[in-house]
Each structure stands twice: as C-alpha cells, then as structure tokens.
Structure 1
C-alpha cells in the first residue's frame, strides 16, 4: 500500500470516528407543494426534497401544469423536438420524471433543455425523502451540472402516483411549488456562513469557490456595511488518528501535533505544497476576519481572500506563502501582528482556540446538518441548496429577510420581478397623482398602501388606499370634496382631523360631495328687524335699513351715531370697578374686546369692504352660525 493510500485510509478512519461520535446527519431541506386542480385534490398538501443543484426559487413560488412524458419517463436521454412539453394552458411546465438509471442532475438538465420550468422526480420506493445531490466530479458531469438553472425536487412515490392517476384521466393537473418558507427569517438581520478552503489546487471545485467569492464580494460588502447581514467564513479541518501521529504523512498534513489537518493539495507528498500549508493559511484567513471584525471592518475579509488568490496562487506563480500573505495584509492596512497573535503557534502541542471552534461547528445543530463537503453555504442556520452562483445565493440570502424588509440590493436587476409594470400588479393606484400601492420584491409584488412625502396611506392595498394623518389634505385633498369659484376655495378636508371628510360651514353633504346652504331661504340668517338677506356661495350678506350698522354675532342693527354703544361702555366700566376682582377683569378683557372687535369690523365693512377672496380654504364670518349675545 502506498503512503498516499495509507494516509487517505487514515482520513477515512477519522471521518468514521467523527460520524459515529456525533451521529452525523444530513438535514433534507423541503419546499411545499399544493395541488390547485383538479378540484377533488385541492386539499392535498405535500413536500418535495430540494435538490442540491440548480436554482431553488427561495422566497418565491411557481404555479405550473404537470406533464408526465409518454416516452422517456426516466429522463436519462434528451427529449426530441423544441419544447415538446409545452402546456396547453400556457402555464409553465413542471415535468414529472421517475427515479432510476442515471444521475438526478442529468434528468433535470434534460428536462430544462426540453423547456420545463421545474422538474419533479418521483421516488421509486416508499421511504423518507433524500436530497438529490450533484454527481461526483467527472468529465461527463462538468458539461451540464453548473448550467442547470431551474429548481427541482424529489417527491414521495405515493404523491407521484396521485399525480399520474389524475393525468391518465385527462385532467389538467396544476400545482403550486412554494419556497416562501424554505428559508427562515427570525429577525431583521440575516446571518450566513461559507465553509470554504484556501487551497486553489483542487481542480474545478476550488475554482468554483473562488469564482463565487470574487463575483459575490460586492454584494456581500454592501450587505455587511449596511448592517443587513452578518457573514462568517468557516474552514473545515480533520485530525490525525493517534496511531499515525509520528508518521511523515501526518507531520506534513497537520499542525499542532496532528490536531488540525488538510489533504495534500497535489496528492503527492514528495513535491509541491503540503496539507499543513493549507491549514496555516486557513487559520490566517480566519484570523483576518476575526481581527477585522473587532474593528468593525469585517468585510475586508472578502478583499483579502480575493487578493490572496490572485497574488499568492499555488498554480501559477507558486507564491502561496506567509511572505505573500503578509504583502496582501500590508496593502489592505491590516494589523499583521494582531493576526499573528490570533493564529498562535502551529508547532505547539496545544489546542488552537480558533481551529478548535471550527471543528466543533462542523457538527450540525438544530435545523442545520453536519458540514460534510466543501463548499457549503449556511443561511440563518439552514444549509443552502443550489449552485454557488452570485444571483442564486443573493436570492437565498434575501429570502432570509421578512417580506418587504429586504434591503434595496435585493431588488437589483438580477432579482426584481417588475410585476408592477403590468396592470400595476393588480394593486390600488391613483393615476392622477402617480401614486401606487404596488411594490416589487424579489419574491414578487405586494400590494401595500404607500408612505409618500410624509403622508401615510391606509387601506387593503388592492382596492383602496386613503391618506391619513397631518398633511393628508395636500395630496388629492385627502379624497374629500373641494371646489373653487371666483378665486374662493372651500374644502371638506381638515388637517386638524386625521381621517374623514366634513363639509365646511355653509355647506351640507357627506364630505365627498358638498352643496351650498341657502341660509336666507332657510331662515338661518338675518332675522333682525328690518334686515335684508342675500345668499352667497358658502355664506350670506345681511344689510340693515337706512344708515344702521349690522352686528353679525348678535344679528342686530344699530344706529351709526347711537348712544347705545356709549351707554354700554359706561355700564361695562362700572361693572369692572364695582367687581374690583378677577371676574370683572376677565369679563372686561374678553367680552368687551369681542364686542368692540365686532363693532369695529362692522364699521369697516361699511366704509372699507374687505376682500373676501384673499382667504382660501377658510369660511368667512358671514357663514358662521348665528349666536345669541
């Protein structure tokens, strides 16, 4: 047996020890499936095990018609013709295939090539659902595995038989695939982690990881800087079994006396880099994040890893080293000495706190399964299913926010649905003022009454939205009646009321329509002896006979040179003197002033007519209800 084979067997033993010690488990992530038609099956709700490839529609849903092919129901060969399964109902086609004879991913790829929007694979036996995984790396699979762009799922055999039975009866079987709750959203911040590796000499797997990091860096940093997410990098390590601690294989692949190991990058112990070089760089990248996070600059990890990959590659310039790493840290103004302190001594026969935590976290807890392969993305403690693609991962992260609370980056061109552009998404709209309740999210549109220019609208969002609160009258007059005549405006909207419409004085109606009241005809004004009444829009005018003056508040006429006014003044002064107290003072201050104001206004109206057109939205004094003095 070769040294390499011996060491790989040792690692296998390690894996077996890890698995047996924690009862390793792989959590199957599921999406909901509901039958919409035929009617007799509508109450049926089922689940599908999400595939570990393709693009699950996290946070969204899909309605489509089930098609089961008459030929090639296993889906192991390409289907003939252009879109051979196009739905007659013009709904998306959801292709149903049977399990067996070829890779799950190949079935889905052939279904996508035939124009299907999603693929369901029927299990062959009645058993707990498993995750449809990607095939092992091979030249055959590389041609299509990363190209799959549709969602897929494994469904129970009994559920598949129900669908097939309905199809054989010629019924249109419509289902809804729902991923809206596949990603939990416990709070306003999404926490996610990426289990990765600093090794760039492991073929297409390492290339895929690094391509993702480079492409996703911008999104990740925007989310992190805005406080929307908390990202943590993770690195997988193994430990060397005790019987092999002194072997050259463990010494070259492990640090801290066999406690933390990584496979040889070239799988050749005699040349190139060693596994412990990978472990040390993994540790350095962990400490870069830890130290940067302590200074509230955690997002610099993305810059460091990207720059290190470009400047310190194993494959090209053979610069994968401590010296190159420190050059990168220096260029990013990272505190090198603090990072060294975080890393500790790789040669010491002690536990490393940073790497020990990583090994402990490989074991799944709660809703998350064990970390068994690289790369693995975990979002809100749930393992992400689907390919490691910038847009697909962003959609998964955005699904971790509660609906309508996601940041604007979740509505980038890659994700926005633009459903509001067609029929306004079926939501309420005020076309006159370009106000809409339709809001696009990456999950689809929602109908939600808007907050516009500080004015909140309330309603169901579908058929009605009404402005409420201060300032509502400035927008569409609060939905109330308003009319202008000859430069004079009256409104049924009052900013002193948060809601509702009320016709102003001088008008009657429900607030949405208001009609002028003829105070003269109804005997509501000018009842004084010798008065004449003339109705005006929103008010009235009263005149007295001869040279008498009309007093509005008291509906009375007085002589211009009458001694009544002087006698009244004398009476009031005597009253104040006699009272000699607060009551007299108050009476003087308010009652006398009110009377004098009305008298002065009456005199001025005779000789200097006021311009009643200056005051819009305010009902003039003539329209006030009569009060007895």
Structure 2
C-alpha cells in the first residue's frame, strides 16, 4: 500500500491528474512583435527557484543548441560548450535527457549565469493534431516539481509547450533577436493577507519553518490570516475502502483516510493511521485556538497551535509520537484544554468505524481543489509560494501581498538574507540587524562615539603610565650621577663609586666629616 500511495503521488507529479495555477506568472515575447500574444504564452511555473513577485525579467533569449539535436543541458559537457553572450540572458533548453530532472537543468543554467530558464516540452498534448513528437503524448503539461535538491536554485524557470517552443526556435534559427519576459504578480487587494501552509503531522521538511515563523505570525497579528492544512490521502482511490486488509494499518475509518507508512516498517514503529490520528488532533487544536471556534483575537493567528506543533515535534517526535503522556504535556505547555480537543476529535466523526470524519473530509476536498502534491507548500493570497519554505522567503512573499502603504511594521524585516536575520529583526521590534532608519543611524553614531571614548581613555592611561615610567628612569640616572655634595648631604645613603670609605665620624673636618679624598684624582 505504501508503494501504491507513493506511485499515485508520482503520477500526479508527472501531471496526469493535476495542474498548477498560472495566475501568479506570465510568459511573454516582447521582441519581435509578430511573436507577441496579448494573453501571453501558456506555461507551467517551477515549484523551485525564487520568483520576483511584483517584478519582471526581460532579457535576450539564448538557445545554444544546433536545432537538429535537442539541447537538454543534462551533462556538464553540454554546459562546457556554452558561450556566455556577455550580457544578461534567459536560457532556452529542451526537456528530456537520460536521468535528468528539471532541477538539474536549471541548476546548470544558473551556474552558466542565466537570469531565468525556459524549458521547451518534448511531448505533445494529446488531441493536438498539429503537434508531432517522437515520444507519447501527455494529457496535460507536467508540474515542474522539485526533485528534493532544489533548495540552492535562486533563478526562476518556466515550462512551455512543444508547439510554442518550436515556433520560437525557428525564429532563433533565422538569427532573429528575441526578448522574452517573465513576470510575476501577487494579488494585493487590501490591508490583510491570507495565507496557508500545507503540511502533515510528521513533516520534517517544515519543522524548522514552524519553529522560526511563530514570532513572525505574532508580529503580523490581525494584518494576516493564517490557516494550516494537512495532507490526507483518499483511501477510496487506492482500493482501501473495498478491502481494508489491502491497506492494513495505513488508514482509518474503514479505509477512508490514509497516509503512507512514515518509517517504512509495517510491523513496528509508526503507522499511517498514527499520522492520521495526530493530524486530526492538530486540526482540532487549530479549530479551537486559531480557527472558527477560537476567540476573535486568536482567529487567523493561532499562537497556541504554533506552540503545540513546535513542542510536540521537539519533545515527542518519532520516539513518542503516540505517547499520550507526552502529548498531554505538549498541550499543557501550549495552554490547550485537552478535554476540548478530545471532544472535538470524537464529534467530528472520530477515527473508528465506517463513518465520515468531517474535518478530514474537508482536507481531502481542499487538497483536490488546490492539486496539492508536495509538502510543505505555502499559498499567499491564493498563489503558491515558489522556492524553499523558510521564514525569510515566506515573510517576503506575505509582505508583497499587501496593498501599497498598508504593510505592517514587521514587513521592514522582509528581504533579510536569512531566517536568523528575520528572527533578530522581529525580536528587535521590526528593526533589521545593524540599524535601519534614523534610529539605526543614531545607534551606529552612539556606538562609534562610545568606542572613541574608550579608545581615548585607554590612550590617556597609556600616556600616564609611560610618563611615570620615564620619570622613574630619569630618577635612576640622576641617582647614579648626581653631584658629590648632594650625595654627601646629611642623611644621604648614596655612595660614589670607586671612592673608599674610611669609617664615618672620625672628626676629620678637612675630609668632609668622614671621607678621605683620594691622593690622585687625575683622569687618565
């Protein structure tokens, strides 16, 4: 059953049953004018890379291929043959190649210096009689999914149809200059952004984000409305309703709601049903502490939900995932009423018996509407977030979704290079690390002035010490060579070298009261 579920996910990823919304991006050919289309070109946007929300990339389109063999950019040898045009460019490459993912193509293009990538499909859409292809047709364009290694991709990429790609390549083959434009927009209707996170109760890829973003959510307050969603698999699609033994312990409610085995051990450890149980618990926590049944001030924020999922992940995790005492402690730390949550789980339909669970069924329906195939996934104003899910990237996208002039103070932390910088900025009341604005300049000037005072004081102390040392040296020199009458003054203990001492107090006044002058004082 685990393989069956994973195979189903893979099929969806290939685009057999899902399409990604294109409302956030647009592909256009600006030059030459005969290739311009008022509605732009049909395309799929990659689920990796970083799009320029609210911006555009309009550059020369470059195709390094020879127009007879496809340029797939699947090997370093192909990349080595590329000659950089010495100006910003968008690279056009072909889909296909042996063991070559979308991510690997775009990564090589990024290393070559491309500002963006457009991949031309190598397959026709079934039913398009005007299209010819050497490989089997496909019902829809595939999703440009992340292969799991795309976190380092920073440039955007699109997939366009084979028919449109052939038209563009024919113009390039005729040595025509083509300017392609990739644009992105994020609906910004008002002063409140609505966003959601698709995850699971056991989502290791989102653990860090959930821990980092709690303070950001609190700082956004009522300026943003958040909703968590959980991925659940429909057991009926995989034959689990007809034969519960077919799916074993992967499902609940007589095969209705399923999840793949999280530790790939069907005989011990966690089961898919365990994940579904925690999913339902976290949905109930959200409902009562962030959703419709929460107090007005908590709705869309759910601070206690964030606290619970972070505490549960840290203290229960895989080892104590179904440990009731660990779960109780996590809810207690988050100030959650355990009885209320247990009642919610039961009243929604529970997990036993051949009955529907209203909360889990809602997640199945929403998952189908959004064509969710990868977690974690973030939607902002109903547009999917591209690239890695981090506190820095998600905050930047959220802040791009406000109507002009309505951004909350925490948006001054958007655009930070790392989630750590975002965290410091949020905890500093919306002031980016290192200053920012007049208050930041005052802080810097104050620091410089304080440093100057410290350095000045240290210099003065060094000067005083050196002067004292110099005076001590002078005293030592004078003690060696001061005049004899000073040294023979009453009470003086000084002695002149090489002058004999004949005993003090012999009454010889002519010898200065105690010393006999040498017979010969000439210098030789």
The alignment's TM-score, normalised by the length of structure 2, stands at 0.63
2:134 is matched with which residue? none
Cα distance per residue 1:73-121 (max 9 Å; x no partner): 2111236889965444x4x321111122122221111101111111111
Is contact 1:198–1:281 with CA below 8 Å preserved after alignment?
yes
Q: Alpha carbon RMSD of aligned pairs, Å?
A: 3.5
1:278 is matched with which residue? 275
1:26 is matched with which residue? 19
2:255 is matched with which residue? 258
* Cα separation, 2, equivalents of 1:124 and 1:194: 33
Match of 1:61 among 38, 50, 56: 56
> How do 1:198-597 and structure 2 match up within 5 A?
198-199=201-202, 206-223=203-220, 225-239=221-235, 241-245=240-244, 247=245, 250=248, 252-293=249-290, 294-295=294-295, 296-297=297-298, 298-314=302-318, 317-318=319-320, 320-344=322-346, 345-347=350-352, 349-364=354-369, 369-412=370-413, 414=415
Which one scores higher on RCO, CA 8 angstroms, separation ≥ 6? 2
> What's the CA shift for 1:41?
4.9
Find the residue that maps to 2:110 and give its secondary structure: helix
Is contact 1:304–1:328 with CA below 8 Å preserved after alignment?
yes
Cα distance per residue 1:481-511 (max 9 Å; x no partner): xxxxxxxxxxxxxxxxxxxxxxxxxxxxxxx
2:159 is matched with which residue? 154
* Cα separation, 1, equivalents of 2:8 and 2:180: 45
> What's the CA shift for 1:195?
2.1
> What's the CA shift for 1:278?
1.3
1:474 is matched with which residue? none
2:196 is matched with which residue? 193
Is contact 2:141–2:161 with CA below 8 Å preserved after alignment?
no
State yes or no: 1:46 paired with 2:38.
no
* Cα separation, 1, equivalents of 2:340 and 2:373: 31
* Cα separation, 2, equivalents of 1:41 and 1:14: 38
Is contact 1:311–1:319 with CA below 8 Å preserved after alignment?
no
* Cα separation, 2, equivalents of 1:10 and 1:66: 42
> What's the CA shift for 1:166?
4.2
Cα distance per residue 1:546-578 (max 9 Å; x no partner): xxxxxxxxxxxxxxxxxxxxxxxxxxxxxxxxx
* Cα separation, 1, equivalents of 2:80 and 2:216: 37
* Cα separation, 1, equivalents of 2:123 and 2:353: 53
* Cα separation, 1, equivalents of 2:228 and 2:317: 23
The alignment's TM-score, normalised by the length of structure 1, stands at 0.54
* Cα separation, 2, equivalents of 1:165 and 1:15: 36
Distance 1:192 1:79, change over 3 A: farther
Distance 1:126 1:399, change over 3 A: farther
Gaps of 5+ in 2: 126-138, 418-524
Greater fraction helix: 2
Is contact 1:24–1:363 with CA below 8 Å preserved after alignment?
no
* Cα separation, 1, equivalents of 2:92 and 2:411: 31
Find the residue that maps to 2:216 and give its secondary structure: helix
Find the residue that maps to 1:193 and give its secondary structure: strand
Is contact 2:201–2:230 with CA below 8 Å preserved after alignment?
no
* Cα separation, 2, equivalents of 1:11 and 1:65: 43
Moved more, 107-116 or 233-242: 233-242
> How do 1:119-158 and structure 2 match up within 5 A?
119-127=117-125, 130-134=141-145, 142=148, 144-158=149-163
Moved more, 332-341 or 395-404: 395-404
Distance 1:169 1:353, change over 3 A: closer
* Cα separation, 1, equivalents of 2:183 and 2:330: 45
> What's the CA shift for 1:210?
1.8
* Cα separation, 1, equivalents of 2:79 and 2:271: 52
2:421 is matched with which residue? none
Distance 1:338 1:410, change over 3 A: same
Cα distance per residue 1:41-92 (max 9 Å; x no partner): 566743432112222223321222222114782111236889965444x4x3
1:118 is matched with which residue? 116
1:588 is matched with which residue? none
Distance 1:279 1:330, change over 3 A: same
Cα distance per residue 1:408-457 (max 9 Å; x no partner): 444435269xxxxxxxxxxxxxxxxxxxxxxxxxxxxxxxxxxxxxxxxx
Distance 1:125 1:238, change over 3 A: closer
1:94 is matched with which residue? 90
Greater fraction strand: 1
Distance 1:171 1:14, change over 3 A: closer
> How do 1:588-607 and structure 2 match up within 5 A?
none
1:104 is matched with which residue? 102
Cα distance per residue 1:118-177 (max 9 Å; x no partner): 1111123553862443365xxxxx5x4221111000123344344434444545432321
> What's the CA shift for 1:327?
0.6
